[in-house]
Each structure stands twice: as C-alpha cells, then as structure tokens.
C-alpha cells in the first residue's frame, strides 16, 4: 500500500492509485510535436500501398499510427 494513496469514503478507507502530475506543455514544445507528427504523416502518405503493407499499416491507419504510435 506504499504506492497507493488512501481516500476516505462513506464506509471506510479505500485504496486508490496516485495519478502522476500533468506535464506542463509549452506552446513551443506543442508546436515541435505537431510538426513531427505532420512530417511523419506526410511521409507515410507519400508511400504506395505495397510499401505501407510492408510496414504493416494501411492508408486508412496512417493518421492513427502517426498520432498515437503503432
């Protein structure tokens, strides 16, 4: 229970997990991240269907793959 916080409920103490503090994203860091995603998406969309199949994604999965990772 060391890694868990305790919160008081109506009946008893209930263990809950601690949430990591949110990272502060500066506008500059956000812009750099967006530019990298855009670059990767453009690159993948420039490949033909056979090349995309070789790396295991389809053209319709390019957006998800670049935004969320594989």
23-52: per-residue pLDDT in tens? 667 888 889 999 999 999 999 999 999 999
Q: How confident is the model at residue 7 (pLDDT cuts 50, 70, 90)?
A: very low
Instruction: Report the mean per-residue pLDDT for the chain.
Output: 77
Domain assignment of residue 4, yes or no = no
3-state per-residue secondary structure call for 3-65: CEEEEECCCCEEEEECCCCCCCCCHHHHHHHHHHHHHHHHHHHHCCHHHHHHHCCCHHHHHHH
Domain assignment of residue 1, yes or no = no
Structural domain of 36: 25-70
- Model pTM score: 0.58
Separation CA 20–CA 8 (nearest Å): 20
Domain assignment of residue 14, yes or no = no
Domain assignment of residue 15, yes or no = no
Nearest to 58 by CA among 69, 68, 45, 67: 45
């Amino acid at each position: 229970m060391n890694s868990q916080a305790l919160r008081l409920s109506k009946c008893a103490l209930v263990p809950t997990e601690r949430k990591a503090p949110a990272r502060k994203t500066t506008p500059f860091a956000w812009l750099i991240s967006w530019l990298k995603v855009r670059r990767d998406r453009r690159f993948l969309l420039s490949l033909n269907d056979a090349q995309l199949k070789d790396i295991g994604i389809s053209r319709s999965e390019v957006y998800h793959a670049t935004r969320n990772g594989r």
